[in-house]
Amino acid sequence: ALFKYTAGSPLNLGILIGDAIMKGALASDLEFVQFHPTGFIGKGGVKLVSEAVRGAGAKLVNEDGERFVNELEPRDVVARAIYRKMQSGSRVYLDATGIENFKEKFPQIYSFLVKEGINPERDLIPVTPIAHYSIGGLKVDLHYRTNIKNLYAIGEAANNGFHGANRLASNSLLECIVSGLEVARTVRRDKPKGGSGEIRDTAQESGDIESVKEILWKYAGIVRNENGLLEGLKELEKLEVDERIKLLVKGILECALARKESRGVHYREDYPIIRKEFERHSIFNGRCML
């Protein structure tokens, strides 16, 4: 939830990832943030109109009702196409009026749209890309061990390359199951000795989170470039925000700056192609190494 627009839980601010990095854990691939093409920003907050709706035949159209992208391209391609269309001044809509029995097929989506005054069986749905998933996280091995003894990480907080540079839809819940199962085996093998160490109150005031969200959305969003990322780092420096969050955000910006190429979900308009020399993971330990 460190980006301005996301349907993720507002409680997930990455504090514990930042905390672990401060204590010597390595993070990797922090620049790889996946954006979902079809978010919906309404009075009731940010929601997701799932891919399945496009899979069932919904079309993406501009204000004039014209299609501008193949809706079934990968998420990053569709998200960028929508972003560019919006940058050119047009609103973007999902036209699901051709889907029969929308209400029965997508009851939850139907329900929140109707509450917002949109009947998807009749009306166009205004959509916008939103931040969706962090591919990067604490660097773990195949058994979900970090580089700190007895510290394990699983799920979205961890990264061992499971999702490459571009997570496929539904694979994160799969990873939650795989990593949860595997880490249980690892802990049983490692038999870590208990010891609580220093536990800090994670519920303390986080500081100026709203500005953090603005910075990441503006400078480390769907389309990035060197000047923006440098500006983001400069603005971050001045913020009064929890130091652990600040460190994590620095990692995202610095690694996005260091990766002078476009690969998977990471898109640099100043380096719009994949480059062989960057075919490796970034590591962040307070500084980005790539």
Ligand X SMILES: Cc1cc2nc3c(=O)[nH]c(=O)nc-3n(C[C@H](O)[C@H](O)[C@H](O)COP(=O)(O)OP(=O)(O)OC[C@H]3O[C@@H](n4cnc5c(N)ncnc54)[C@H](O)[C@@H]3O)c2cc1C
Which residues are catalytic, by number? 75
From residue 121, alpha-carbon distances to 99, 103, 201, 212, 247 in Å are 7, 8, 48, 38, 45
Of 15, 33, 49, 257, which one interacts with ligand X (CB under 6 A)? 15
**In this structure, how many other beta carbons lie within 10 angstroms of the beta carbon of residue 235?**
16
Token representation of residue 83 = 């972003």
Minimum CB distance to ligand X smaller for 208 or for 261: 208
Write down the least CB distance from residue 133 to ligand X, Å.
6
For tokens 């009749």, name the residue: 122
Radius of gyration of the chain (CA): 20
What secondary structure letter does DSSP report for 221?
S
Write down the least CB distance from residue 16 to ligand X, Å.
5
Of 116-145, binders to ligand X (CB under 6 A) are 133
Choose one: 22-30, 73-81, 88-96, 166-174; the region binding ligand X (CB under 6 A).
166-174
Minimum CB distance to ligand X smaller for 135 or for 290: 135
**172 touches ligand X (CB under 6 A):** yes
Residue 144 to residue 136: CA distance in whole angstroms: 14
Write down the least CB distance from residue 6 to ligand X, Å.
7
Q: Taking a C-beta distance cutoff of 8 angstroms, is the pair 232, 215 a contact?
A: yes
Write down the least CB distance from residue 216 to ligand X, Å.
16
- Contacts with ligand X by CB under 6 A lie at 7-9, 11-12, 15-16, 48, 133, 155-157, 170-173, 176, 202
